[in-house]
């Protein structure tokens, strides 16, 4: 009968075996960590790309709206110029011209930007995904300037309401609203009220003129923002 003798060292591991197993485990964990980081980095880049594509769309809409509101408000400035001339005129037809041109101080044409994407970026912390400093600066600068334009628009609207209140005192639109207005349209003979009306119309003209200049600057910022984001994020 053969007797098999087992070595005393069978099944035991030396330090090299343990070191090899530790190294393999470490590499597995490390590679998993790297893979997860790469995956997160890819996801964040994709989200940033989506945000910027949406931002470009918003800016394009703003550009179209700004163009329209600049044109409308420029027409209003021209109309107020005619109103101011009529208020100073002594011609027989001056009253009719006052009624015709007073509509330019009784309305407001205020721009409101598309803020869906910028709101998401701020509320969801999406700005941290935008790694390019120039892009972040362009977006925040546009948003800050839009806040300035909005405040200016509030002043524009408030001034318009004050003029409307004064118009109720110096004009009578019941006659002007008729299909065939009467020959002698009412215009107050209160010199102080008419002077105040003229002054407020003059100030409103300046407010709208300044508003137009700011809308033009905002449009430039929008156009530059579109160009920058398209370039940096390879958007069509």
Convert the pLDDT of each residue in 192-202 to its tens digit. Answer: 999 999 999 99
CATH number for region 15-233: 1.20.120
Task: Tell me the mean pLDDT in the region 22-42.
Answer: 61
DSSP reduced 3-state for 187: strand
Q: How far apart are CA 144 and CA 142, in angstroms?
A: 6
- Answering whether pTM is above 0.95, one says no
pLDDT exceeds cutoff 60 at 9 = no
The most confident of 34-48, 123-137, 140-154, by mean pLDDT: 140-154
Task: Tell me the mean pLDDT in the region 74-83.
Answer: 98
**What φ, ψ does residue 171 adopt, rounded to 5°?**
-130, 160
Mean residue pLDDT across the chain: 86
**Contact (CB, 8 A) for 139 and 228:** no
pLDDT exceeds cutoff 60 at 35 = no
Residue 160 CA from chain centroid, whole number: 23
DSSP calls for 49-68: HHHHHHHHHHHHHHHHHHHH
Locus of tokens 């209160």:
190
- The confidence band for 120, taking pLDDT boundaries of 50, 70 and 90, is confident
């Amino acid at each position: 009968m053969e007797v098999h003798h087992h070595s005393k060292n069978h099944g035991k591991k030396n330090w090299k075996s343990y070191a090899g197993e530790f190294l393999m485990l470490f590499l597995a964990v490390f590679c998993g960590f790297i893979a997860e980081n790469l995956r997160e980095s890819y996801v964040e880049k994709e989200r940033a790309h989506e945000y910027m594509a949406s931002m470009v769309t918003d800016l394009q809409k703003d550009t179209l709206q700004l163009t329209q509101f600049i044109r409308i408000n420029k027409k209003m400035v021209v109309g107020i110029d005619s109103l101011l001339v009529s208020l100073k005129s002594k011609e027989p037809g001056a009253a009719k011209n006052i009624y015709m041109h007073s509509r330019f101080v009784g309305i407001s044409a205020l721009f409101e930007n598309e803020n869906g994407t910028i709101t998401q970026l701020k509320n969801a912390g999406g700005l941290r995904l935008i790694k390019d400093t120039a892009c972040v600066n362009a977006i925040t600068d546009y948003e800050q300037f839009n806040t300035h334009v909005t405040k200016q628009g509030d002043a524009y609207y408030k001034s318009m309401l004050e003029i409307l209140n004064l118009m109720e005192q110096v004009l009578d639109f019941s006659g002007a609203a008729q299909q065939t207005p009467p020959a002698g349209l009412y215009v107050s003979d209160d010199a102080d009220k008419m002077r105040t009306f003229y002054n407020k119309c003059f100030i409103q003209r300046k407010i709208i003129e300044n508003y137009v200049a700011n809308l033009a600057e905002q449009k430039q910022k929008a156009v530059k923002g579109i160009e920058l984001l398209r370039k940096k994020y390879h958007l069509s």
